[in-house]
Amino acid sequence: MRRSVLTFLFLLTLPAFGGEVPVVITAKEVKGNVNTSVKAHGRVVVKYKDVTIEGDKGLYDRKRETIRVWGNVVIKEGDTELHCKNLIYNLNTKEALLENVEGWLSRGERLKAERIKRVSEKEWIAYDGEYTPCSHKCPDWSVSAKKFKILLGESFAGKWVAFRVKEIPILISPYLSGPIKRERKSGFLFPRFGYISKDGFIYKQPFYLVLGRSADLTLTYEKRTIDGEGKQAELRYVLGEKNRGDLTYYQLNKSDRKDWKFNLNHTYKPSDYAYGSAKAEIVSSREYYKSSSNLDTVEQSQVYTKSDVTVSKLWEHTVLNANAVYLRYLDGSADTIYQRLPSLSIYLLDSPIPKTPFTFNLFSRATYFYRKAGGSSYRVNLEPSLKLSKQIGRVKNTSELTYMYTYYQFGNSRELWRFKNSTKVNRFYPLGSYAISVNPELTFNYVESKNQESFPLYDITDRIRGERRLSPAVELYLYGKGKRLARISAQTDYLLNGSKWKELKGDFEITPTYWLTLRETADVSPQRGGLKFLNSYAQVNLSRINLWINHYNGKEMDIQYLKWGFKLPLSPFLNFNYIQRYDLKNSTDRERKYSFTMNRGCWNGEISYRWIKNYDSTIDYQIVLTINLVKLGSYGYKFTGKKE
């Protein structure tokens, strides 16, 4: 005989948030008065708004507006799913108290604790807990503490925290936190470690300091075991919703010198029609990049620093732009280079002239030049233009006549005429499941020829060559199966005043199938003769292996190299990468890099060995280990050396 089960359903209403909020309780057995309290037994399910609570037993107290559920409790709310032994939940404030808890706070955030107190929808406090952003059953890393404060999807913070790798504690910190966006607290952050062969092991201890609601400061002390002591300050501030910035100062004291760097970044955008920014980068000397523990090889090869201030304002037909740029070359050449401090530009955009088919535009610029070695001046440019555009079917013709006037503080003035005419055709040809777009264009440029040798050489814009040039070009696209399969373009110039053709430049990119990509840049020169491939690239995805090869033939610097590599997946998380660069001009290897990259979701990292052969036959090599932990930041180890 089949046993029947009686299910009771009570619809309770509570005054909250300005209206009646329904609470639904289902269970095998429900007893009590809905106006005072209700007890439920036998797989209790409580539903309130977007919260679902399940357990073996339940008690609803209407007067206190609380629900208690115990025995195999599961609470679900959005991405949160927690399993616990006992739960007390306030229906009005959404505060909760949970015992013997384990589960997900959000996607990618797991928590295990003896007791958890939920203060609000975002803020949770865990006691005797363990936190990890790893989704694996046995987390790669986690942190545990007597007390945790967690802001869902934003941050976590705790005191006397143990950092664990596969449940094994390897480091104890008096304070640890991830990125904090609210309820920030001052305290020590997780220390960072590194290694450089000539300086020894590197220890960095950051301290986070709250300076109010709109600013915070991170102070970092750095110690190198062989030689070096560093200090760093990072100030972040918010002056308004669209007005913020940051300041960074780093100083490294070594036995024989002191190196430092200062950075400023500030942005101000009061509206969609106004923008301002200020960027400053000041470095003590070129030696800073050699002493820094920064792992960025591009920065280490930097030969200058750049600071600039930009302010832009846009109206319906006008743009005002003020810009000041200062370049400081670390070899001292900035003393002889003119700096533009500042440059003020006004652009009058294409504006229709009433009762005519023409539009008018104006470009004007006033620039003040300064040179540390001596010499300063200003220059004013005015460039009014008339433009006429006409569309006939698929053919569009645009003509533009420009008059340029330049006034120098010292020296003569200058006047030049420019004329440009462009004719472009857009044709589209469907070919069954494919289609071709062909866009030929013919442009004529005229610039008045005048002797400008008497004008001071402030920058390259003071040397404008006269020309009569005809420039044919064509661009072709191939489409198929809802995507672009190929792009081909070609362009050349015919100099009318010299009666000669310049080189024909062309490039194409073809992806005939998902596993093959080809790119090429080439030119044909009438003077040199023959076809010259400038930049060839091919990429092939075969099974799980990604192969690529790049041939580069630099025209300006006379550099020729062949670079190739591959990426081999070893597991769903681990890849092996290889890169090699061969110098074709000198028939020698220039660079090799071997690396393993790992991405486990809650952390990713790379360990690599790289060597570069210099032109004096010496070899620079480095071993780099970088680890990026979600919410804890990046950590690095670098070993460098040189072989004769």
- Give pLDDT tens digits for 355-364: 999 999 999 9
CB 388, CB 376: distance < 8 Å: no
Cα separation, 61 vs 12, in Å, equals: 11
Does the residue 141 lie in any domain? yes
Least-confidence region, from 15-24, 136-145, 453-462: 15-24
What the block records as the tokens of 305 is: 């620093």
Does the residue 362 lie in any domain? no
Please name the residue that has the structure tokens 């990426």. Answer: 567
* CB contact set of 590 (below 8 Å; sequence gap of 6+): 561, 581, 582, 583, 612, 613
Does the residue 120 lie in any domain? yes
- In this predicted structure, the answer to whether residue 610 has a pLDDT above a threshold of 60 is yes
- In this predicted structure, the answer to whether residue 444 has a pLDDT above a threshold of 90 is yes
- In this predicted structure, the answer to whether residue 47 has a pLDDT above a threshold of 90 is no
Which is nearest to 177 in space by CA: 639, 481, 633?
633
- In this predicted structure, the answer to whether residue 10 has a pLDDT above a threshold of 60 is no
Express as a percent the part of the chain with pLDDT over 90.
41
Least-confidence region, from 387-391, 547-551, 552-556: 552-556
What the block records as the tokens of 479 is: 């489409």
Least-confidence region, from 253-257, 486-490, 545-549, 572-576: 253-257
Mean pLDDT for the stretch of residues 121-134: 84
Does the residue 592 lie in any domain? yes
Please name the residue that has the structure tokens 């915070």. Answer: 216
Q: Which backbone phi and psi does 336 adopt, to 5 degrees?
A: -110, 5
Mean pLDDT for the stretch of residues 138-160: 78
- DSSP states of 319-331 as a string? EEEEEEEEEEETT
First-to-last C-alpha distance (Å) of the chain: 92
Query: What pLDDT was estimated at residue 556?
Result: 58
Query: What pLDDT was estimated at residue 8?
Result: 35
Least-confidence region, from 62-66, 121-125, 198-202, 552-556: 552-556
Domain boundary among the residues 188, 214, 237 is at 188
Q: Evaluate the CA torsion angle 534, 539, 540, 546 in order and state its sign.
A: positive
- In this predicted structure, the answer to whether residue 124 has a pLDDT above a threshold of 70 is yes
Which is nearest to 507 in space by CA: 522, 517, 497, 492?
522
Query: What pLDDT was estimated at residue 294?
Result: 61
Q: What confidence category does residue 438 fall into, taking pLDDT thresholds of 50, 70 and 90? A: very high
CB 146, CB 128: distance < 8 Å: yes
pTM, entire model: 0.66
Query: What pLDDT was estimated at residue 6?
Result: 32
Which helix (H) or strand (E) segment is 297 a member of?
A: helix 297-300
- DSSP states of 479-546 as a string? EETTEEEEEEEEE--EETTTTEE-PEEEEEEEEEETTEEEEEEEEE-TTT-SEEEEEEEEEEEETTEE
Does the residue 324 lie in any domain? no
Domain boundary among the residues 151, 166, 188 is at 188
- In this predicted structure, the answer to whether residue 441 has a pLDDT above a threshold of 70 is yes
Mean pLDDT for the stretch of residues 1-7: 32
CB 321, CB 367: distance < 8 Å: no
Query: What pLDDT was estimated at residue 136?
Result: 76
Domain boundary among the residues 118, 153, 188 is at 188
3-state secondary structure of 611: strand
Q: What confidence category does residue 65 fall into, taking pLDDT thresholds of 50, 70 and 90? A: confident
- Give residue 73's Cα distance to chain centre: 42
Tell me the CATH number at 36. Answer: 2.60.450.10
Does the residue 387 lie in any domain? no
Mean pLDDT for the stretch of residues 382-411: 93
- Name 233's bridge partners: 219, 249
Least-confidence region, from 70-79, 391-400, 464-473: 70-79
Does the residue 247 lie in any domain? no
Helices of type H across 160-291: 287-291
77: left (phi over 0), alpha (psi -120 to 50) or beta: beta
Does the residue 217 lie in any domain? no
Cα separation, 447 vs 468, in Å, equals: 7
**Total domain count, the chain:** 2
- In this predicted structure, the answer to whether residue 409 has a pLDDT above a threshold of 90 is no
Express as a percent the part of the chain with pLDDT over 70.
89
Q: What confidence category does residue 453 fall into, taking pLDDT thresholds of 50, 70 and 90? A: low
Cα separation, 490 vs 479, in Å, equals: 19
Query: Which position has the higher pLDDT, 5 or 541?
Result: 541
Query: What pLDDT was estimated at residue 576?
Result: 97
Mean of pLDDT over the chain = 84
* CB contact set of 332 (below 8 Å; sequence gap of 6+): none
Which helix (H) or strand (E) segment is 578 a member of?
A: strand 574-583
Query: What pLDDT was estimated at residue 478?
Result: 95
Query: What pLDDT was estimated at residue 16?
Result: 34
Which helix (H) or strand (E) segment is 299 a member of?
A: helix 297-300
- DSSP states of 13-24 as a string? EEEETTEEEEEE
Give the domain extent around 587: 503-644
Task: Count other Cβ atoms within 10 Å, centred on residue 528.
Answer: 10
Would you call 96 exposed, middle or buried from its count of C-beta atoms within 10 A (0-12, 13-18, 19+)? Answer: buried
Query: Which position has the higher pLDDT, 578 or 306?
Result: 578
Which helix (H) or strand (E) segment is 298 a member of?
A: helix 297-300
- Name 87's bridge partners: 69, 98
Query: What pLDDT was estimated at residue 298?
Result: 54
- In this predicted structure, the answer to whether residue 17 has a pLDDT above a threshold of 80 is no
CB 223, CB 201: distance < 8 Å: no
